Structure 1
Amino acid sequence: MEEGKAYIESGILELYVLGELNAEEQHEVEAMAGKYPEVKQEISAIALAMEQYAIRHAVQPSVGLENKILARIDGNTAATDEVPDSSATLVAGGAKILPLYPEGYESKLKTLRIALIACAVLLIVSGIALYFAHTELGAAKQQIIALNQDKERFANTVNYMKETNKELQTIADMPNDPDWKIVKLAGTKMDPQAKMMVYWHTSGRHVMVDNSKMGLPQNDEAHQYQLWALVNGKPVDLGVFDVKTDTAHILLKMKEIGGAQAFAVTLEKRGGVPSPTMDQMIVMGGVSI
């Protein structure tokens, strides 16, 4: 609604009715008219106002001049006799010489010149006003774009907070669900200070990595960390992940597993490998019964 009002006040609708816009600008006005009923109504009101102005200021020709023109066209001199012209001059033989311009023509011409000058001044003033209005419209459009961008950023922040609260609530509810196993993975000789946390839901088979408690060095673009579940002494791939300081989620979902005795993480080439590189194992932890 505010956008439609600002568009009406910009002055572009008057240019549209006068036919002073290019094709692209005409399409823009027609699109706005289709979107906002008040814009369409304003266009109709402007067109009606201009039509009434033209009718109100129309100049009717004098009766004498009209009859003279009709008489000359029809070749009937009687029409001129019915409407005598006091400005005619008699010459030898009784012939009449009519002036080139009707009586009062100079006065009307002077009035017309003044009106034309006034119209020209009004046109210049209107052009300047429309220029500034067009500039203000452009600024208003930029403000609308900025507001939409702020709105989008705010929506993303709200969604992030909702997702974060949901994940925090999941972690808070884990102690009340005996099916959740919280597995602490400790560093190996590769990095004794490394550590991380894995959450495993035994009945639901869900496996998640806690990004908020990630104590692994940040990996480069060529490598990724790969999570393994040790099932009866055999490693089972549970997927790869990156360590980032600007992660969007607290919990990172991995592949599901129905049973496991321990979990381990190795540093592998990006995309993962079929079997773990043992000398690249950075953390490991057993599942407590």
Structure 2
Amino acid sequence: MNVTEYIASGILESYVMGVVSDQERREVECLSSVYPEIRQELDQLSSTLESYALLHSIEPPVSIKTKLLEQLTFDEPGKQETIIRPMPVDIPSSPTYRITWIVAASVGLLLLVFSFFLFSQLRTNQKTLASTRNVNQSLQSQLRQLRENQLQSDQTLALLRQPGLRTFALHGNEKAPQGNMLLFWNTQTHQVAVQVHSLPPLPADKQYQLWSMVDGKPVDAGVFNATNENQLVQRLNRSVTRADAFAVTIEKRGGSPTPTLSTLLAIEPVKS
């Protein structure tokens, strides 16, 4: 469950104002007991509404209490007969009381509208904060990617600067007519790397595998992926001490001990 989206939906404000259905009320109470973020948001909204109501509360006139007590009759102890008096039906039409209640009702309505305005502003600020956090996370992810690319570039540059490096261009056959890649082989350190320019994408359970041909026999030289992202060089985890030719096949992910000749895509002899 996305707690941030749920908080930003506005249902918590409706719950605090008492305008949710029974099902929504049970849902909010259940989720608030599970997620501390929702409980904290509920407590904050309740505290804000209570503080605002206390700040703008209006004390009724003292004369209203006297007026009400004059209209109420209490039984005296010891009397056998209960005297029932009819409750007054007509509300006093005194202009003072009428104006007081109208003003109180108007102030209450204004407070309610202003409270919704404050909640709306709070929601807007929370959405802005959430958007800022998402942008920050995206920038951090891009920064990590740039650092990884820089590290890869440094490693590639170090590989290309080493003495004894040989470069081979491998082109795809009729099974991959658009296939194009470079192979880097250091005859002194025996390291091998490839730079894919264009190769067909493969299913998740397949990988390209490089083979070094020695006296007509294929030797595993490592696996690599069909990626051309930023033309990155992929260093293989096999050492090649000798090679008469290099070949590329499609094998299961992780590589195969022997090549599948039916998937042979390219072969390039090593000229002395």
Flag whether TM exceeds 0.5 (same fold): yes
Aligned residues: 245
Offset of 1:154 from its aligned partner?
A: 1.8
Query: Following superposition of structure 1 onto structure 2, how do residues 115-264 of structure 1 map, counting pairs within 5 Å?
Result: 115-174=100-159, 177=162, 181-187=165-171, 194-199=180-185, 207-211=192-196, 214=197, 216=198, 218-221=199-202, 225-231=208-214, 233-245=216-228, 247=229, 250-257=232-239, 259-262=241-244, 264=246
Q: Distance in 2 between matches of 1:147 and 1:201?
A: 52
Q: Which ranges of structure 1 fall in alignment gaps of 5 or more residues?
A: 1-6, 77-97
Looking at structure 1, the residues matched to 145 and 115 of structure 2 have their Cα atoms a distance apart, in angstroms, of 45
Residue deviations 1:207-237, cap 9 Å, x none? 43224xx3x4x31546854211335543123
Secondary structure of residue in 2 paired with 1:208? strand
Say if 2:262 is the partner of 1:286: no
Check the 8 A contact 1:230/1:236 in 2, yes or no.
yes
Q: Name the amino acid aligned to 2:66.
A: S
| In 1: Cα distance, 2:165 partner to 2:183 partner | 10
User: Displacement, 1:149?
Assistant: 3.3
Instruction: Give the letter for the 1:69 counterpart.
Output: T
> What's the CA shift for 1:162?
0.9
In 1: Cα distance, 2:178 partner to 2:87 partner: 114
Highest RCO, 1 vs 2 (Cα 8 Å, sep ≥ 6): 1
Tell me the CA shift for residue 159 of structure 1. 1.4
- 1:184 maps to a residue whose letter is F
1:196 Cα deviation from its structure 2 partner: 0.8
Whether the 8 Å contact between 1:183 and 1:285 is mirrored in structure 2 is no
Which aligned pairs between 1:271-282 and structure 2 lie closer than 5 A? 271=253, 274-277=258-261, 280-282=264-266
Q: TM-score, normalised by structure 2?
A: 0.59
Once superposed, what is the RMSD of the aligned Cα atoms? 5.1
Whether 1:74 aligns to 2:70 is no
Aligned to 1:34: 40
Determine the C-alpha separation between the residues in 2 that align with 1:14 and 1:126.
Answer: 16
Match of 1:47 in 2: 50
1-side partners of 2:124 and 2:47: how far apart? Answer: 26
SS at match of 1:255: coil
Deviation at 1:166, TM superposition (A): 1.0
Q: Which has the larger radius of gyration?
A: 1
